Structure formats: structure tokens, C-alpha cells
Structure 1
Amino acid sequence: MAFHTVAACDTDDSALSVPRRYAWVVFALTFGLLISDYMSRQVLNAVFPLLKGEWALTDSQLGLLSGIVALMVGLLTFPLSLMADRWGRVKSLTLMAVLWSLATLGCGLAESFQQMFVARFLVGVGEAAYGSVGIAVVLSVFPRSMRATLTGAFMAGGMFGSVLGMALGGILAEHLGWRWSFAGMALFGLLLAFAYPIVVRESRIARPDAAQGESKPAGKGALRTIYSSRSVIGAYVGSGLQLFVGAAVMVWFPSYLNRYYHMATDEAGVVSAVIVLCGGAGMVICGMLSDRMCRQSPDRKIALAIAFCLISCTLLAVAFRLPAGPLQLSLIAIGMLVTTGTSGPAGAMVANLTHYSVHGTAFATLTLANNMLGLAPGPLLTGVLADSLGLDRAFQIIPLISVAAALVFLYAKRHYHRDIQKLGGADTRAVPTE
């Protein structure tokens, strides 16, 4: 029998004062708003062909309309999340949802590329800190041992929202016109924004220091945990690089089906939704796998992340070199299932290596990396490559970014166990293993 020193943050399931039923209600409503967030963001992708024809836009301009949202999320997520940690997470989430919903309605009223760009800019401002603050709320009401599962499941809301946004957006655009696609997403977001503060209240969410047994250090000490270790920086960078690939496929796949499979807007939206749904399922499945396999060996999280990067690179690189047909679509679906698998392990690493009191800001930093390294440049660079080489050739090149992500996670793996031990206030203990 051997003994391994394991940080309590990977194994401790301290009882929480929040009733489990209420915790799941909090998760459901916060998850629902995340779905609305991504429905509003990704509905644009379903109407790319219609906007391109009506306004005579280039692929680069379409990529810019998509990328501006991710860019604003990247630029504003840190300051807005820090503000939410101090001002109140529930109030902040409600205001964000109202803003992005109204801005989405503005997209439906746009009469030109310039007006659409301004509306998309405001969508990005509204969505900037939602993901980071939302996951902080969710993690505050559940045990630590569920962190990878919850992170993967919560982030999968982005994929599920993208699925609904593209599928419903394509259907609405085909039958009612593209403006109604945006209007439908806006109405859904406003309804949830009204219900959220009525049900989810700051006073009913457990205090982190009492519920999870964490001693709260001075403000600067807590904030320093966001960037003080090599492994947490590796988690940020590796996650962002890997999402570069997922974002590129998610944004441009409806156009790929339109150009190379000659599908109508509604059909392309539905097929793309299935592909993106595979990505969302991968976040949940891989997050659960990470929690199950890594309770007594934390650095396995990074080993799994490395494997997900390399497997996804192989599958997608091969798939986009195949001729159009069922085999290609099947390999792309499997590739997307694995591509998103790093979200759960990366999110758990960030939660484990940073103090609870700044989890909103910590996940904002992760969101910043995801957007600045992945979600913003992925669609934009793919559009630039498509203008020069064709969208099919662009998709053959993009998966190689996963190799860089794997190398960054490998660097993080070398320091993860040591960094978890050095985390200020972390409780460590000897855990017997066979």
C-alpha cells in the first residue's frame, strides 16, 4: 500500500449548508441563462449565408461580426467579474442578461453591416462576465469533488445554446426571415433574466468559508492565487488554444455545409447543431471522466487534457481531408466530442489552484484566455484563411492548433502537483491507495 499526498481541494466533500434541491435549481437557472447567452451569440452563424447575400459581405466581415463578441468578452470579462465578486454575483448576472438580450433584439433591427457590428459589440459587453461569474455561483453550492463535472456540464451550456441558436435560428430565418431569428433569442433571454433574481438570492447561497472549510486570506493574497502558479497559467493558455479549434468549427460549419454539401440554411443549421451538440456532450462526459479518474491523482487531469488535444487533432485533420459524405460527418462529430474535453479538467484546475473568494475573477481569467486565444481569433483567422485558400483548406489547417495546446498542458502537468501543495491555506493529507 502506497501513500500519496493529495490536496484537499481534489478530494474533500465537506458538507454544504445549501439544500441539494435548491443547489440544482440554482444550477438549472444559471445554466439556462448560459444557454440564452450562447443562443444570442451563435444565432448569427445560422444566418451567415443570408447576410452575405443581402448585404454583399465578405467572409472576413462575417468573421468580424462573430469575433467581436468574443473579443469584448475577452477584454471585459476580468474587470466585470472582479466587480461582480464585490458588488454581488446575482445582481450582476441579471443585469448582464438584460443587456445582451436587448442588444440581440437590436441585431434584428439592424439595417446595415455597421449597425449590426454595433449591436454585436453590445452583445459582447453584456455577455462579458456571465460565464465566469455563473460558474462561480454554481461551484459555491456543490461539493468540491464535483468540480470537473460541474465545470464541464456548465460550459457545455455554451454548446447547447449554440445548438439551439443555430438550429432555431436557421428554422426561423427560413420561414420568417433572419430578423425573427434574433428576436426569438432576445425574448427567451429577457424571460429568464426576469425570473433569475426572484429565485436565486445571495442570502441563500452558502458562505464559502463556512461551507467549504476554506480560510479566507487577505484580499491581495486571494487575488494573487489567480496568476501565482505555472500550472494555473498553463490551464488558461492550454484551454484557450484548444477552444480555438472548437470555435472555428462551431462558427463556420453551417457555411461549410452550405458550400460543400449544398444544404439550405435550415438544413445546414440542424446538421451543424448536431455536430455542436457532440461538443457539448464531450464537455460533460470528459468532465465526469476526469472527476472519476483523478480523485487520488490530481495530475491525471492534465494527462487526460493532453490526450484529448492529440486525439481531436488527429480526428479532425483526417476528417476534413475526406470527401463530403457520411464518413466525414461522422469523424467530425467524434472529433468535436473530444475537442471540447479539456474544458472540465482545465476548469477544475483553475478552481483548485485559486481561492474561492476570487473564483469569479479566476474564471474570468480563464474566460479571457479562452476568448483571446480561442473564441475570438478562431473564427476570424478561419475566415481570413477561407478568403485566401477556401473554407475546406482552412479547416484542414486549423486542427493543428491542438498540438500547441497539448504542449502547454504538458508543461502544466510538470508543475501541477507542486503548485497545489504550495497554494496558501490548502489542506493536504496522506491518502492510501492500492
Structure 2
Amino acid sequence: MLMQHAEPATGDFPVARSDVRAYAWVVFALTVGLLLSDYMSRQVLNAVFPLLKSAWHLSDTQLGSLSSVVALMVGLLTFPLSVMADRWGRVRSIALMATVWTLATLGCALSTNYGEMLVARTFVGVGEAAYGSAGIALVLSIFPARLRSTLTAAFMAGGAFGSVFGMALGGAVAAHLGWRWSFGAMACFGIVLVIVYRLVVTEQRLASLEPGSNRETTGKLGVRMNFRMLLSGLFSSKSVVCAYVGSGLHLLVPAAVWAWMPSFLNRYYALPAGLAAVGAAGFVLVTGLGMVACGMLTDRLNKHAPARKWTTAIAFCLLSFALLGTAFQLHAGPLQLLLIGAGMFVSAGACGPSGAMVANLTPSSIHASAFATLTLANNLLGLAPGAIVTGMIADRIGLLGALQIVPLAPLVAALAFVIGRRNYAKDLARLAALREQAAP
């Protein structure tokens, strides 16, 4: 059981355990459900990579671009759309975003060539752009601060589980009905969830779950905040910048492996496309379980020493480098698959600590924008380049050679976390002092 701990959090106030109401968990479940739909729509493409490559005679670079364009659009649009969500209303914004990515996924099913598919995938990215930041900001606003690492990790793990369902279900459907029906199934699931979400979740009911002090602070700052003040809050310290950078870089590994594992199993283990997709989904599932476990472990280990969150993030990055770097040097076989699984378990382990650090170092009134910035870093530094850069390298030295290079990214992420850890306590103290000065 998680114990309450006192950790400085700019603009936030812990609430008692009894204040976590049942409706908050319903909202969390539905919000994570939409995240599942988000990543099912995003990752179903990877399951049909071998089929598209054969049907349209695509290069690995073209295949990678179909995956990376989604993350690229998320990276480019997440900040402006998240700022809009803070002002227009997170519930309405979330429903609109989900509608867009669902219809775009249906467009993928109707595509007849690479160009049409690329356009449809672009709009999938437009729809998904601000969902992660708006969704986690909504969740954190109705739960106590003591659960931040756990909730952030669990929410982000929803992306991994959505990828599992997208790849496994997409591969199974493609094997029986063809790749177009894989996209159609994801679109149908998304439409149903959007309708349920809009009926159950409302801004009025959410407002009743927020601590009164949070609502007052959010309301005052939301009215007075201009763009310069917003940027000042988002980039207020060296440690929060390091959290953004470290989080983004360490996600390049799961992005690359998720995108190319079906093709890796197809090419190096001679598995048919459908079975390769199911096998790859297992590694994605391991990643999601690892995200949740690492987030919970971070909260448990750091109840009385918040700075240790940086240490755990560093440890996860180094483990990912060591395990995956070794795995892709081995010949195909059980040992290689075992080490890949172990490496994927910790490959996204820094997500929970990173999200908690960003939340602690920014005012609650701009949390959607702060998580938009985190999403921007995650996508531009990790998720967007992961698939296409790996594909470009694979066209030159082969897929295995490309995957041998990818595990170097967590080393750079670990360096960013080391720098952030050195400045964390000082930055928290300075921000707390500024908040006291601003208080009436």
C-alpha cells in the first residue's frame, strides 16, 4: 500500500486518502480507455508492416515514415493544442481529439497507396497530438499528489497496453480478413469509447473532485497567465528541462523496438506476419507492465527522499542500455529473446519519475501545458525519430545492425537525469520561495 509522503509540489495540495472517490476511478478508467484506443490506432500499422511492404513494394524508410509521421505531428501540435485544452475545456477537447484520430484511422483502412496512407496517418497524429498531456493533466487534477508517479506511469502504460492490443488484434484480423480490416476494427472501438466518454465525463462533475485550493489557484492563474508567464512556468529551472530531455531520449528505444519487432521476428525468426505481430505484442506488454512496476517502485523507494526519483530514472536507463545492447549482439535464439524482454521491461521505466518531476516543478494551473511540453520532448526526441531513423539505418546496414545502435540513446538520457538530479533540491526550494512571495 502506498503511504502518503510530503513532497514539495508547486501549486498543488495533497488530499486525504478518503477523498479519492469512486467517480475519480471511473474517469481514470475511461481516460485510459481512450489512451488504449489512441495507441491501438497508432500501433496497428506495425502489425501489418510486412503486408504493406509486400503489397505496395515499400522501403523500410517509407514504412518507418508511416509510423513516425504520427509522433511527428504529436510533437509539433501538442503544445498549442494543449494550451487550447486548458482554456477551452479538457473534456470537450479530449472528445474532439478522439473523434479526429478515429475517423483518420478509418481513412487508413480506405487508403489505396502510400501517399493516401501517409495523409491519413498524418491526421491520426493531429487527433492524438494533445491527448496524452490533456488526459494526464485531467487525471492528476482529481487525485492526490502522493500518487503522481504511480498514476503517471499507469496512464502512460496505457499506451503500451494499447499497442499490445493494436498489434495483436491487428495481426490476427489481418491474417483472416486482410490489413484493411485491422484499421477498421480500431476505428470501431474508438467510436464506441468516444460516445461513452462524452456521456459519462463532464467538466462540472470533475470540478467537484478537485481540492478547493486547487480550483481557486487554477482559476486565478488561468485568467492572468500570459504567454511569457506560461513559458516562464514551463522552463522555470534547469532540472525540469533535464526531465523533459531525459524522458524524450529514453523513449527512443521502445519507439524503435515497438515499430520494428514484428519485422524483426518476421525476418530473423521466419515467423509469418500474423504470428510475428502477436509475438511483438508480447514485448510491448512487457514494456507496459514495466512502466507500471517502475512507477510504483519509484513511489515506494522515494517516499522520504524525492531526489531519489532521479536516481531510479538513471538506473532504468542504464539497465535498458546494458540488456538491449547485449541482446541485439547475440544470434537469434531463446537467450536473445529473454534479454530483449528484460530490456523492454525497464526501457520506459523513467516515464513515471519524469512525469512526477515535471508535475512537482510546474504550477498545477499549467499542468496540461507542462505535460504538453513533456509530450513534445517525448515525441520529437524519442517517439518520432525512433521508427524512421531505425528504418533509414536498416536500409543501409540491415535491421539487426540498426537495432544494435538504438540502445545508445538511454545513455544520453541518463546523463540528462544526472544533471537534473544535481539541481533538483535547489530548484524546488527556489520555486517554493517564489510561490510564497506571490501568495496574497
Please indicate the TM-score interval, normalised by the length of the shorter structure: over 0.9
Matched with 2:261 is: 253
Local SS of the residue matching 1:341:
coil
CA distance in 2, matches of 1:38, 1:126: 12
Matched with 1:431 is: none
CA distance in 1, matches of 2:11, 2:83: 25
CA distance in 1, matches of 2:398, 2:62: 15
Matched with 1:432 is: none
Matched with 2:233 is: 225
Q: Over the residues paired in the alignment, what is the CA RMSD in angstroms?
A: 2.0
**Contact map agreement 1:93 1:134 (CA 8 A) in 2:** yes
**Could you tell me which amino acid in structure 2 is paired with residue 145 of structure 1?**
R
Matched with 1:135 is: 136
Shift, 1:405, TM fit: 0.5
CA distance in 2, matches of 1:360, 1:309: 26
The superposition leaves residues 44-83 of structure 1 with CA deviations (integer Å, 9 ceiling, x where unpaired) of 0000000000000000000000000000000000000000
Choose the corresponding residue for 1:210, options 196, 209, 212.
212
**Contact map agreement 1:253 1:272 (CA 8 A) in 2:** yes
Local SS of the residue matching 1:330:
helix
The superposition leaves residues 356-406 of structure 1 with CA deviations (integer Å, 9 ceiling, x where unpaired) of 111111100000000000001111110011000000111111101111000
The aligned runs of 1:98-113 (5 Å cut-off) are 98-113=99-114
Local SS of the residue matching 2:270:
coil
**Contact map agreement 1:17 1:206 (CA 8 A) in 2:** no
Matched with 1:57 is: 58
Matched with 2:300 is: 292
Distance 1:5 1:360, change over 3 A: closer
The aligned runs of 1:137-176 (5 Å cut-off) are 137-176=138-177
CA distance in 1, matches of 2:216, 2:269: 54
Matched, 1:328 2:329: no
CA distance in 2, matches of 1:86, 1:393: 46
Choose the corresponding residue for 1:373, options 365, 376, 381.
381
CA distance in 2, matches of 1:256, 1:214: 52
Shift, 1:183, TM fit: 0.1
Shift, 1:215, TM fit: 3.9
Matched with 1:394 is: 402
Gaps of 5+ in 2: none
The superposition leaves residues 274-333 of structure 1 with CA deviations (integer Å, 9 ceiling, x where unpaired) of 101111011101111111111221110011000110111000000011111111111101
**Could you tell me which amino acid in structure 2 is paired with residue 156 of structure 1?**
A
**Contact map agreement 2:9 2:359 (CA 8 A) in 1:** no
Local SS of the residue matching 1:418:
helix
State the identity as a percent. Answer: 59
Choose the corresponding residue for 1:413, options 401, 407, 421.
421
Gaps of 5+ in 1: 428-434
Matched with 1:357 is: 365
Deviates more, 1:223-232 or 1:79-88: 223-232
**Could you tell me which amino acid in structure 2 is paired with residue 210 of structure 1?**
G
Shift, 1:422, TM fit: 1.8
Distance 1:23 1:305, change over 3 A: same
Local SS of the residue matching 1:193:
helix
Matched with 1:276 is: 284
Matched with 1:121 is: 122
Shift, 1:225, TM fit: 1.6
CA distance in 1, matches of 2:231, 2:216: 15
CA distance in 1, matches of 2:81, 2:100: 14
**Contact map agreement 2:12 2:363 (CA 8 A) in 1:** no
Matched with 2:275 is: 267
Matched with 2:69 is: 68
**Could you tell me which amino acid in structure 1 is paired with residue 119 of structure 2?**
V
**Contact map agreement 1:131 1:367 (CA 8 A) in 2:** yes
Deviates more, 1:352-361 or 1:87-96: 352-361
Shift, 1:228, TM fit: 1.1
Shift, 1:19, TM fit: 5.2
**Contact map agreement 1:260 1:324 (CA 8 A) in 2:** yes
Matched with 2:49 is: 48
Distance 1:272 1:162, change over 3 A: same
Shift, 1:31, TM fit: 0.1
Local SS of the residue matching 1:7:
coil
Give the TM-score taking structure 1 as reference length.
0.94
Local SS of the residue matching 1:53:
helix
**Could you tell me which amino acid in structure 1 is paired with residue 196 of structure 2?**
A
Shift, 1:263, TM fit: 0.4
Local SS of the residue matching 1:173:
helix
Give the TM-score taking structure 2 as reference length.
0.93
**Contact map agreement 1:78 1:129 (CA 8 A) in 2:** yes
**Contact map agreement 1:10 1:298 (CA 8 A) in 2:** no
CA distance in 1, matches of 2:425, 2:161: 33
**Contact map agreement 2:235 2:241 (CA 8 A) in 1:** yes
CA distance in 1, matches of 2:394, 2:11: 43
Matched with 1:28 is: 29
Shift, 1:165, TM fit: 0.4
Local SS of the residue matching 1:295:
coil
Matched with 1:339 is: 347
CA distance in 2, matches of 1:38, 1:7: 33
CA distance in 2, matches of 1:84, 1:18: 26
**Contact map agreement 1:222 1:357 (CA 8 A) in 2:** no
CA distance in 1, matches of 2:401, 2:133: 34
**Could you tell me which amino acid in structure 2 is paired with residue 183 of structure 1?**
G
Shift, 1:224, TM fit: 2.2
**Contact map agreement 2:245 2:416 (CA 8 A) in 1:** yes
CA distance in 1, matches of 2:17, 2:191: 31
Shift, 1:250, TM fit: 0.7
Choose the corresponding residue for 1:242, options 244, 247, 250.
250
Distance 1:243 1:10, change over 3 A: farther
CA distance in 2, matches of 1:68, 1:8: 35
